[in-house]
């Protein structure tokens, strides 16, 4: 196992879901890195592993910085805003895998249960094709844009949400997709209080407004079942201008129509009409 990074899928909650291969990998590993060592400590003890347990990313990044002073100095400089935002969207596992590959180490996956597949399986909605969007932004234009993506998706869409914001998400989805769009909310999967509620988005929004969710939540929304309509291409400005002039429209009116129907700037439309 020396020089190899094993990416091990851990159970959603029920330790019995850990595969024999995953348990064997954890027992044989020298170091186990986890984002939340509190939960992983229980898992490591469950399989009888004596691996060193470390929290990632902070301790490992500090070790890397100490080994590479040049890189450490660059990290200490203030990042440009767009780079900071990009880093915020990367999960620690993504950073670790990328770092391992950059250094030439082998990366091996040990697959296991996923909330996405589990929720799809119990949702009663189509799962042959689906779109996974994870957690939506809490507010702003990005949230509105992704809600629009859900509304127009031909396929089933899977989302994650924190329990205290589930009712708000369902209401926003109902507003974007229509109150009658079918959906399912799965929470605490594989755990003692596992529950899956299905119905229309309006029904689910009302239910969770009255009975707030607890635990980890996955929301599955039905797709439209039909391809997203393609916008019609804008007419050719020159051809449209010739047609309108032939119909007897004034140059001023033709310029107005060109800017409205083709989206070209007014000065461009004016120059085109004068040339004709």
Least confident among 45-54, 89-98, 101-110: 89-98
Per-residue model confidence (pLDDT) at position 165: 96
pLDDT-derived band at 39 (thresholds 50, 70, 90) equals: confident
Q: Is the pLDDT at 76 greater than 80, yes or no?
A: no
Q: Is the pLDDT at 143 greater than 70, yes or no?
A: yes
Write down the residue that tokens 């391809």 correspond to.
227
- Start-to-end CA distance of the chain, whole Å, equals 74
Q: Which CATH architecture has domain 115-221?
A: 2-Layer Sandwich (3.30)
Domain with CATH 3.30.950.10 in the chain: 115-221
Give the residues across from 34 on adjacent strands.
55
Check: CATH 3.40.1010.10 for 4-110? yes
Q: Is the pLDDT at 70 greater than 80, yes or no?
A: no
For residues 87 and 80, give the distance between their C-alpha atoms in angstroms, rounded to a whole number. Answer: 11
Question: Residue 190: how many CB atoms within 10 A of its CB?
Answer: 15
pLDDT-derived band at 235 (thresholds 50, 70, 90) equals: confident
Residue 28 near residue 22 (C-beta atoms within 8 A): no
pTM above 0.75, yes or no: no
């Amino acid at each position: 196992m020396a020089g190899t990074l094993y990416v091990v899928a851990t159970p959603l909650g029920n330790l019995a879901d850990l595969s024999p291969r995953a348990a064997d990998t954890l027992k044989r590993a020298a170091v186990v890195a986890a984002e939340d060592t509190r939960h992983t400590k229980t898992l490591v003890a469950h399989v009888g592993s004596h691996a060193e347990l470390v929290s990632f990313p902070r301790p490992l990044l500090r070790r890397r910085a100490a080994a590479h002073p040049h890189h450490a100095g660059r990290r200490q400089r203030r990042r440009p805003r767009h780079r900071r935002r990009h880093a915020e969207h990367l999960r620690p596992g993504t950073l670790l895998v990328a770092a391992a590959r950059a250094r030439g180490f082998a990366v091996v996956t040990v697959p296991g249960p996923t909330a996405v597949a589990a929720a799809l399986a119990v949702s009663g909605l189509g799962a042959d094709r689906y779109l996974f969007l994870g957690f939506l932004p809490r507010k702003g234009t990005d949230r509105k844009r992704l809600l629009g993506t859900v509304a127009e998706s031909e396929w089933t869409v899977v989302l994650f949400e924190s329990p205290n914001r589930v009712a708000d998400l369902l209401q926003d989805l109902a507003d974007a997709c229509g109150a009658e769009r079918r959906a399912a909310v799965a929470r605490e999967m594989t755990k003692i209080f596992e529950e899956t509620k299905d119905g229309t988005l309006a029904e689910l929004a009302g239910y969770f407004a009255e009975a707030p969710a607890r635990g980890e939540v996955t929301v599955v929304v039905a797709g439209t079942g039909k391809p997203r309509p393609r916008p019609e291409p804008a007419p050719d400005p020159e051809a449209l201008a010739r047609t309108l002039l032939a119909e007897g429209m004034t140059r001023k009116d033709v310029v107005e129509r060109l800017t409205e129907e083709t989206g070209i700037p007014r000065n461009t439309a004016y120059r085109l009409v004068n040339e004709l």
